[in-house]
Structure 1
Amino acid sequence: MTSEYEMSVNDYIAIIKHRAVLLIVSAVVILGVCVMVAISLPPTYESSGTILVESQQISPDLVAANNNTFADERIEVIRQRVMTREHLEAIINKYNLFASQSRQLSVTEKIDEMRNAITVSLVSAAVKGRGEVTIAFRLGFEHREPEVANKVANELVTLFLDENIKQRTERASETTEFLTQEADKLRVELEALENRLADFKQAHSNALPEHQELRMNMLSRAETELKEVDRDYKAAREELRFNELEVSAASAGVAKPGAAGAAADKPQDLGSLKAEYARLLSLYTEAHPDVRAVKRKIAALESASGNAGSSVAPVSLDVAKAQARVGASQARINSLADQKREILSKIDAYEAQILETPQVERGLVTLMRDHDNARKKYEEIRTKEMGAKISESLEQENKAERFVLLESPLMPEKPVRPNRKKVVAMGFVLAPVGAGALVMLLEMLSQRVRGVEALGSVVGRRVLASIPYIHTKAELARRRKWQTLVVLGGVVIIAIFLVLVHFLYMPLDLIVVKTLGRFA
């Protein structure tokens, strides 16, 4: 056949008639194979339970939980913990799973088969303001025996619930323990800073900033006292020079006019001097110059009266009195000098402390800042620790977010695999397609000439006449036989189809009743 010839519809019809037996046989074989596969495939049952993700019972505004992870993330974490080798191997050994396999499986292969048989599907819902939120999940297990599937599913559900409680409790306990350790560390650090601050204040107690105003007042008071002492010191020096002049005059036997006048003006007897001393004490202190002068005169008169019986000349008594006054003045000058030196040392100390205060304040501010930061951290971590303890109590009392078994795994009544209806339906689709593909392949490999037009295309000449094929009696008998077989085969196929529909889809009597009901 040349490439110029194109097959017509008659040629295709002729091919179908010629290959009719092959088409029917191949279609029946393919359909039979699909039916056998649908019947021979072992059933797989699935038992599943539904677990609800229940929100926290107490309002989060009152008590906040520490486990704030998303439900799907927590479910996946629990799934990985449950599907460990240890757990799965224990379940396999407990229920003797995969013992009926055609070949002996290793422990790793059994665990892989077990993981493939476990299904976890999330149930989500649209929540306003939060989008898609996981509110529940279904946990199932597939097995060829429904009883085993149900038992293993219940075992897995129990593991999931227990692992959720264990995980949340452990996380809450670990959080509380961590915060407690951190709080203890901060407490030790805070105590160390408090000790450093106390030592610093004790070491610089005289230069603390809070006492700066007091030191300024004390410095001002010391300066005022220094001025008074300096004035008294100068007066005492003048008195000393005056007394030294009196000593010189008394030693020469010459009475000073001023002294004589003073003696004439003032009472020189002991009683009058004591009365004057009492009057001055009521007005001044003992450190006042007038009080001290009267006190010295009283002492001189008492000393002179004790020596009245002696034969010393009056001039010697005046010299002794003048010398006593000189000694008293000298003693007062020495005392005032000591007071002045003491006050000057105090002033120097106050000034040094005032100058040292800014440096002390800088170090104190640094320590106070570190102390305040450590105290704030300590209070913050203590607050978090208290919240963690409350959250731990929520977890222990099972009042936080939890998993609740909404529907227990039930005994499966129908297998989930294989879908025998789909397999048979696929057979009805594959049977004509496969038969047609087989015929097309055979025709593509065949080199025979089909019809008058094909012959003319091959020889390149016009065909004047064609003689049809004349069938013999034997061929006609064989054709009738094949036709009978085809009819019987069709009846068998229809019967098989009705049987499959009756057992796999719906009983025929129900189909008839429903069909009649539609036309009633």
Structure 2
Amino acid sequence: MKSEYELSLKDYIAIIKDRALLLGISIVVILAVTVAVAVTVPPLYQSTGTILVESQQISPDLVSANNNSFADERIEVIRQRVMTRDNLLRIIDKYGLYADKGRRFSESDKIDQMRNAIVVATLSTYVKGRGEATVAFNVSFEHKRADVAKDVANELVTLFLNENLKQRTERASETTEFLTQEANKLGAELASLENQLADFKQAHANALPEHQALRMSMLSRSELEFREVDRDYKAAQEELRYMELELSAANAGLATKADGSRPTPAEQQQDLPSLKAEYAQLLTRYKEAHPDVVAVKRKIQALEATGGKGATTSTVSLDVARVRTRISAAQERIASLAEQKRQLVKKMEGYEAEILEAPQVERGLVTLMRDHDNARKKYEEIRAKEMGAKITESLEQENKAERFVLLEPPLMPEKPVKPNRKKIVALGMVLAPAGGAALVMLLEMLNQRVRGVGALESVVGKRVLVAIPFITTQAELAQRKKWRKLLIVAGVVLAAILLVLVHLLYMPLDLLLFKAMARFE
């Protein structure tokens, strides 16, 4: 019965003996290739400059800059600006970079090659209250010549410093200019609203809400004045009616006294001296234009014209004239009071209209005042921001705000950073036996050779009765001695190569020997 045969340790040792030559050659070839790669790859030198992100020089509690942003973001923006096509081409032409590539490299290839050679690495630390914060960053450049790497790194550091200053100054100036323009716009808008508010108040000066109490007081005063005038008006009408009755009585020849009683015949036969005395007495109390004074004067003139006769007739005529004069004065007074009433009614109607109009005026005024207050707040806010932007601009121009400071300039590199020849050789030492073993295993998998009695039994499915051992001939023994010598020579050569590589790439052998002896003492 057939079964799956598994190789034993003896089988593996037999395979190694059979494939020893191939395995040795594979190890030597792979190791030689890795050593050749480690030796022939051209070295790359790296020059690095360190730029410190320095905080604001003046305390933020006194002057706060408005041009703050995350350092990582600002460094990335500056990196993009520095590594533009024009800047890189200028540096390439200035230092003759990649000139040995000839026509194989186009401008785009050179720019890509240079971008790959530039390394910008940030240095972060923990800051209390802010967490991880970038405090510095390195700008490095790699090239096969150490002096070129240093010069280009210096050029890049200078570009970073100048671009940072330019960017911050431009941003501060643009911010100030923008805020100034916005402040001017808001100032013009605020002035327009102030003019609208003034025009509105002027157009509705008599209906403004703040004058409401005054208008109510004036309305009450006008109503009180109207009642007084109306009372005088009614009294004047009563007096007029009385004087009209008195006029009717005078026209009928029945003079009446001031108290409504008729005069006696003796009173009607009043003489000229008594009239003159009465006239003189009236002048002491009234002016000449007074109706009583005028009536007495007419009586005197009438008596003087008749020589004292016809006193009764003259007296009646004088009474009629006096009454008419009083009626005329009463009518004028009534007309004046009526006009006063009309003026007061008109005034009260105006006050009432203004009082009724006040709520509508107040709504319009509130709207204008709200717009005015909002515009004023925006204007004051934008002016405050403009002042802050001007302070920030001054800080940037005087280099007192957050800035980039060259902490360590790029130096001439003493040894290359690429390739790491030690790692390449160490990798070759690992890959050489692994590669040889993989090649042997691949050949064994492709070869269907039966090894040993166990393998034969698993193939034929029957037990082997007799096994004849391998008989080595003299020629094979000689061949084995020859290969053994070759392997010893190859081992010695390989050991010598390893010692040379250690001496050249790691440490001189004498120093290594001294260190080893010092450790065992």
| Contact kept in structure 2, 1:56 and 1:402, CA below 8 Å | yes
Equivalenced residue count is: 503
Which residue number corresponds to residue 415 of structure 2? Answer: 414
Question: Deviations for 1:442-481, whole angstroms, at most 9, x for unmatched residues?
Answer: 2233344434444555564524352532322x44433333
CA distance in 2, matches of 1:86, 1:369: 54
Query: What is the deviation of 1:90?
Result: 1.5
Which residue number corresponds to residue 283 of structure 1? Answer: none
Q: Cα RMSD between the aligned structures? A: 2.4
Which residue number corresponds to residue 320 of structure 1? Answer: 321
Question: Deviations for 1:302-337, whole angstroms, at most 9, x for unmatched residues?
Answer: 444455532374122222222212211112211111
Which residue number corresponds to residue 24 of structure 1? Answer: 24
1:299 aligns with 2:294: yes
Question: Deviations for 1:51-83, whole angstroms, at most 9, x for unmatched residues?
Answer: 111111112222221123211111111111111
1:505 aligns with 2:500: no
Query: What is the deviation of 1:4?
Result: 3.9
Which residue number corresponds to residue 91 of structure 1? Answer: 91
Which secondary structure does the structure 1 equivalent of 2:101 belong to?
Answer: coil
Which secondary structure does the structure 1 equivalent of 2:35 belong to?
Answer: helix
From 246, 268, 284, the counterpart of 1:275:
284
1:132 aligns with 2:141: no
1:169-184 matched pairs, under 5 angstroms? 169-184=169-184
| Contact kept in structure 2, 1:452 and 1:463, CA below 8 Å | no
From 465, 468, 473, the counterpart of 1:466:
468
CA distance in 2, matches of 1:255, 1:57: 113
Question: Deviations for 1:380-432, whole angstroms, at most 9, x for unmatched residues?
Answer: 11111111111111111111111111111111111111100011111111111
Over 3 Å counting, the alpha-carbon distance change for 1:177 and 1:246 in structure 2 is same
Query: What is the deviation of 1:338?
Result: 1.3
Query: What is the deviation of 1:124?
Result: 0.7
Which secondary structure does the structure 1 equivalent of 2:415 belong to?
Answer: coil
| Contact kept in structure 1, 2:294 and 2:322, CA below 8 Å | no
TM-score (norm 1): 0.91
CA distance in 2, matches of 1:411, 1:382: 52
Amino acid at match of 1:477: A
Which residue number corresponds to residue 123 of structure 1? Answer: 123
Over 3 Å counting, the alpha-carbon distance change for 1:320 and 1:65 in structure 2 is same
Query: What is the deviation of 1:493?
Result: 0.8
Query: What is the deviation of 1:259?
Result: 5.2
Which secondary structure does the structure 2 equivalent of 1:440 belong to?
Answer: helix
Which secondary structure does the structure 1 equivalent of 2:413 belong to?
Answer: coil
Which residue number corresponds to residue 42 of structure 1? Answer: 42
Over 3 Å counting, the alpha-carbon distance change for 1:469 and 1:205 in structure 2 is same
Query: What is the deviation of 1:298?
Result: 2.0
CA distance in 2, matches of 1:324, 1:458: 168
Which residue number corresponds to residue 270 of structure 2? Answer: none
Which residue number corresponds to residue 271 of structure 2? Answer: none
Which residue number corresponds to residue 235 of structure 2? Answer: 235
CA distance in 2, matches of 1:102, 1:368: 76
Over 3 Å counting, the alpha-carbon distance change for 1:305 and 1:4 in structure 2 is same
Amino acid at match of 1:392: E
CA distance in 1, matches of 2:338, 2:369: 44
1:437 aligns with 2:446: no
Over 3 Å counting, the alpha-carbon distance change for 1:94 and 1:304 in structure 2 is farther
1:371-382 matched pairs, under 5 angstroms? 371-382=372-383
Larger CA deviation: 501-510 vs 327-336: 327-336
| Contact kept in structure 2, 1:456 and 1:463, CA below 8 Å | no
Larger CA deviation: 415-424 vs 162-171: 162-171
| Contact kept in structure 1, 2:296 and 2:318, CA below 8 Å | no
| Contact kept in structure 2, 1:176 and 1:385, CA below 8 Å | yes
Which residue number corresponds to residue 386 of structure 2? Answer: 385
1:196-345 matched pairs, under 5 angstroms? 196-256=196-256, 258=259, 269-277=278-286, 295-306=290-301, 308-311=303-306, 313-314=313-314, 315-345=316-346
Listed as ranges, the gaps of 5+ residues in structure 1 are 279-291
| Contact kept in structure 1, 2:255 and 2:263, CA below 8 Å | no
CA distance in 1, matches of 2:119, 2:303: 135
Which secondary structure does the structure 1 equivalent of 2:243 belong to?
Answer: helix
Which secondary structure does the structure 2 equivalent of 1:403 belong to?
Answer: strand
Which residue number corresponds to residue 195 of structure 2? Answer: 195
CA distance in 1, matches of 2:263, 2:160: 120
Which residue number corresponds to residue 160 of structure 1? Answer: 160
CA distance in 2, matches of 1:226, 1:423: 119
Listed as ranges, the gaps of 5+ residues in structure 2 are 268-273
Amino acid at match of 2:468: S
| Contact kept in structure 1, 2:72 and 2:134, CA below 8 Å | yes
| Contact kept in structure 2, 1:452 and 1:466, CA below 8 Å | no
Over 3 Å counting, the alpha-carbon distance change for 1:432 and 1:102 in structure 2 is farther
Which secondary structure does the structure 2 equivalent of 1:406 belong to?
Answer: strand
Question: Deviations for 1:167-210, whole angstroms, at most 9, x for unmatched residues?
Answer: 11122122212211221111111111111111111111111111
CA distance in 2, matches of 1:390, 1:142: 41
Query: What is the deviation of 1:40?
Result: 0.8
Over 3 Å counting, the alpha-carbon distance change for 1:115 and 1:256 in structure 2 is same
Identity %: 65
Larger CA deviation: 432-441 vs 510-519: 432-441
CA distance in 2, matches of 1:262, 1:201: 68
CA distance in 2, matches of 1:318, 1:417: 144
Which secondary structure does the structure 2 equivalent of 1:470 belong to?
Answer: coil
CA distance in 1, matches of 2:221, 2:449: 141
CA distance in 2, matches of 1:125, 1:479: 66
| Contact kept in structure 1, 2:118 and 2:142, CA below 8 Å | yes
Amino acid at match of 2:192: A
1:105 aligns with 2:105: yes
Question: Deviations for 1:360-392, whole angstroms, at most 9, x for unmatched residues?
Answer: 112111211111111111111111111111111
Amino acid at match of 2:376: R
Which residue number corresponds to residue 489 of structure 1? Answer: 490
CA distance in 2, matches of 1:165, 1:131: 26
Which secondary structure does the structure 2 equivalent of 1:101 belong to?
Answer: helix
